[in-house]
A and B are shown apart, each in its own frame.
Chain A
Amino acid sequence: MSEPAVASDKLKTTPLHALHVELGAKMVPFAGYDMPVQYPDGVLAEHLHTRGAAGLFDVSHMGQAFLTGPDHETTARAVEALTPGDIRDLAPGAIRYTLLLNDKGGIRDDLMVTRTLTDGVLFLVVNAACTDADFAHIAANLPSGVALERLEDRALIALQGPKAAEVFARFASEAATQSFMTARDLSVAGVPCMVSRSGYTGEDGYEISIPAKDAAALTKKLLAEPEAKPIGLGARDSLRLEAGLCLYGHDIDETTTPIEAALGWAIGKRRRAEANFPGAKIILGQISNGAPRKRVGLLPEDKAPAREGTEIFAGSNRIGIVTSGGYGPSVGGPIAMGYVDTGAAKPGTAVELLVRGKGRAARVAAMPFVEKRFYRGN
């Protein structure tokens, strides 16, 4: 029983830091920020509350920026030079999940790109730990006339779960019928916010970008609703794992390609034809000829969780490694994801997970581990 001692001196804080402390959160360092890992209810209850009602997450540590050019075509091309996503064909108000790639087709980061309603302006949200590197990389590769503006005076919260829409409509009625993967500028209880219908839990919900000065007051209003509770990073991780979603730096990184990561769907059809994104030759080669390994879901057959770093075997052959693993509270048992040799990637394939020196039976499983419940209109 031991936990590493950590100095929390030089950590950054989000605009909601005081609120977390007031709510009794256990604070931990994460990506350079002092963040709530859980509140007094604990990870298990927070996870289940999000799947049953509405969970509110502080994700202000993530990097937000506007990318502004003279028109959509120009700004979108600047993003397309660094990603395989179809950004030019995004409709106004639409959001796309895409990937910043390196020249070998490895993933520098995954990010959300929103075409705002202002012509030529894209809104980017990137991972906290990658923010500085991403924005430096983007800024260094922009054509003249396109500029990146980091938004450091904004908070970002997520409201997720089957009751999220009902709760949020009390503060911004227009949000109720907003389509999945679209964003709108809305007045939320009088505060001008950018509201995206998206998330990282597999549930319906919103991500809400709020001016920092209004963030704590608005968050308190949302939390005063009986269905809403604050949720920490612990449950955020178990929720996204059950939803089969990648955590950057664990399930994807500079050494994994989108094809290996089973993110081929994020490569636009037009982009494949144009073959002009970083690492296109390698990635298109893997689309044609297959990749050597693939990201898959794994379901242990006994109750022992298989954590990140667990080796995966088929007989005596080491065929892969777990990149995220733990206990899925809604699944009610251990779940994991990891990379295996492509020959063993088919759902149902029997494998062994080497946990504490002992091989334990598991099967490759389709993801998500829980049903996705995104808003698809009434």
Chain B
Amino acid sequence: MTEQTLPQADRRKRQLPQINPVYFVLAALIIAIIVMNPAFAEPIGYMNFLKRAAPLAILAAGQLYVIVSGGFDLSVGSVITLVVVGSSILSNNDPNSTWWVIATMFAIGAGVGLINGLVVCYLKVPSLIATLGMMITLNGVAFMWSGGSPRGYLTDQFRFFGRFNIPDLPLIRILPVALIVLIVLGFALYWLMHRTNLGRMIHAIGDNPRAANLAGVPVNRVRILAFMISSLSAVAAGIMLGGFAGVSTDVGTGYELQAITAAVLGGAQLLGGRGSVPAAIAGALTLNAIFTLLNFLGLPQPIRQVVQGLILIAAVAVAMQRRKHTGR
């Protein structure tokens, strides 16, 4: 109806591409960090920042698939734990094992996503409960597998993806492998979400599952795929985190909420229908930038959690108010 009433000026404004506010927030934070610590502007500074943020960025991009499809995936943190603990046990300090261990982990991730999706689609359990149940179960599995106290460590080959820097490059000096992984996976996830039919189907089932079903969309298949993509991204994040975190049964704890926070910061609509992969990645970088800033300010570690909680609530509240005013 609006089209008849919009004055000319408004009409032109509407056609301007709307830039997601998360990019401005990220830019402002980075400037703030540089002001407080000029070393951050050096390649070593920002490359290390990107390296540390890469796992969360991938996790957030994967989580976005489930959020846009209308659900939540709270099992990703426990998948990370399982990957780190399981890999250290399976590889048994044998450098040659890296590839098949990684393949096994992706297979496990696909299985976890498949089960999440099946439980939600066919047993009709709300995803929040289904994936929380999966979280408890997988944490239990990680405990059982490691006998309660994980031993051993990951081989350097395995840690390559998260830790290694390609040295002696011109201009940027170092290039972390983690950043390459982020760029490759980030682009793949962007392409899948914003350039393929699958992406449109995920938007449609999150927006209105009933309408999607009546329009012929294979709702269950698409939803299951969204959960699988999220779990697979958690495996990738777990492998990268294995590069710089120790082997423990709480390595993945809290990552599920960080991923959701990042996606929400990137403007993803809770309960489905709207979201952007690049913005979710920017949301993850923003969250990490905030944490970095808190470190510089010398605030104790737990304050991170408080700030994250506030951001989560504020981001959703602001989005709700904006939507109410603009009708979007």
The answer to whether A and B assemble together is: no
